[in-house]
Amino acid sequence: MIWDLHCHFTGLEGRTPDERMANLIEYADRMGVDKVTIFMGIRHSLDPTPEVFRRENDEVMQALSHWHDRAFGFAYVNPNYPDESVAEMDRMIADGPMVGIKLWVACRCSDPKLDAIVTHAAKLKAVIFQHTWYKTRGNLPGESTPEDLVVLAKRFPEITFICGHSGGNWELGIRAIRRHPNIMLGTGGFDPTAGMMEMAVRELGADRIIYGSDAGGRSFASQLAKVQGADIDNAAKKMILGRNYQRLLQPILNDKVQK
């Protein structure tokens, strides 16, 4: 069972979300990926106004409409607009099919502006995915590092967060989060550098790692290789490729079934 935490419309052929989603599923099928998670629109906006993130989320909703059996959606929100973000989470998650939120680079996640958003996400049992990088030549002004995420996670120790991209520079990212058990590691969206998964399992344990690809900009192949090519046992691979994500999603999926 392979569930992919992290996909986009970018890097795929097709004029519309529907066409791009169909292409994404075709590649997922070829690589044995059972479910994908999609967030953000065809064009990404670094610091989207509410109008823009609503439009991007509408595109994801459209794509999901034909693929409920194969795809999850996360709502893209912006901490610079906390009230509108909370309202969007109600529209997309409480009253819609989405199961998580995506936080990108509009605002560093250590900022208290995130508090209302993560509190509401927890109330909805939504998964919280935060993009993080340590870039050798410097991050974007609003781009979070794993250490920013640690600041946030310390304020909300009962809430689980996902450290997207493993911080890019994963040797630093894994170190940053290892003593904070409410942070899980997202493995997508950086080169398939060997040794990454072995270090992650050693420092975090397999139960804190979730496979994601960042396809279509990234290749499913290169990102699956981090798990399938790693010198870790098969039980760990199964957890990372799907079971951990399934466990994280279970509360919100149960709620949606009951509704």
Partner 1 sequence: MIDVNVSLFRWPTRRLPDDDTKLLVRRLRANGITQAWAGSFEGLLHNDLTGVNDRLAAECIEQGEEILVPFGTINPMLPDWEGDLLRCTDHHRMPGIRLHPDFHRYSLDSEAIQRVFALASEKQLIVQLALRMEDVRTSSSVFSLAEVDTAPLAKTVEKFPQLQLVVLNWSRDLRGPAFGDLAQLKNVCFDIATLESAGGVGKLIQEVPYQQVLLGSHAPFFYHVAAMLKLRESELGEFITTAIAGGNAARLLAGN
What does the binding site for partner 1 look like in residue numbers (CB under 8 A)? 11-12, 23-24, 27, 30-31, 133-137, 168-171, 190-195, 198, 215-222, 224-226, 228-231
Please say which residue, 97 or 217, places its beta carbon nearer to partner 1: 217
Look up tokens 């920013």; give the residue. Answer: 148
C-beta of 179: minimal distance to partner 1 in Å? 22
C-beta of 154: minimal distance to partner 1 in Å? 26
Nearest 10 degrees: CA dihedral of 19, 217, 142, 89? 30
Gyration radius of the chain over CA positions: 17
C-beta of 232: minimal distance to partner 1 in Å? 10
C-beta of 25: minimal distance to partner 1 in Å? 10
Please say which residue, 59 or 88, places its beta carbon nearer to partner 1: 59
Nearest one of 171, 175, 166, 172 to 212, comparing CA atoms: 166
CA pair distance 85, 76, nearest whole angstrom:
8
Kindly give, in sequence order, each residue whose CB lies less than 8 Å from that of residue 112, ignoring residues fewer than 6 positions away: none
User: Do residues 130 and 149 lie in contact, with contact meaning Cβ atoms separated by under 8 Å?
Assistant: yes
C-beta of 34: minimal distance to partner 1 in Å? 16
DSSP state of 254: H
CA pair distance 118, 160, nearest whole angstrom:
10
Helices (H), 40-169: 50-64, 82-89, 115-124, 146-155
C-beta of 171: minimal distance to partner 1 in Å? 7
Please say which residue, 50 or 217, places its beta carbon nearer to partner 1: 217
Phi and psi, residue 37, nearest 5°: -120, 130
Nearest one of 174, 171, 111, 173 to 141, comparing CA atoms: 111
CA pair distance 236, 205, nearest whole angstrom:
9
Please say which residue, 27 or 129, places its beta carbon nearer to partner 1: 27
CA pair distance 259, 250, nearest whole angstrom:
14
Please say which residue, 160 or 219, places its beta carbon nearer to partner 1: 219
C-beta of 146: minimal distance to partner 1 in Å? 13
Please say which residue, 120 or 165, places its beta carbon nearer to partner 1: 165
Please say which residue, 116 or 140, places its beta carbon nearer to partner 1: 140
